[in-house]
Amino acid sequence: MAVAKKAESNGFFSRFKNVGKRTQYIREVWNELKKVHWPTRQQLLTYTAVVFVTVAIVALLIWVVDSGLTFLLNYVLS
The total domain count for the chain is: 1
Does the residue 37 lie in any domain?
yes
Range of the structural domain that residue 68 is part of: 12-77
Q: What is the pLDDT of residue 8?
A: 58
Does the residue 52 lie in any domain?
yes
Residue-wise pLDDT for 38-70, tens only, equals: 999 999 999 999 999 999 999 999 999 999 999
Residue-wise pLDDT for 2-40, tens only, equals: 666 665 566 777 777 778 888 899 999 999 999 999 999
Helices (H), the chain: 19-35, 41-77
Does the residue 48 lie in any domain?
yes
The pTM for the full model equals 0.57
Would you put residue 36 in left (φ > 0), alpha (ψ -120 to 50) or beta? Answer: beta
Does the residue 21 lie in any domain?
yes
Does the residue 1 lie in any domain?
no
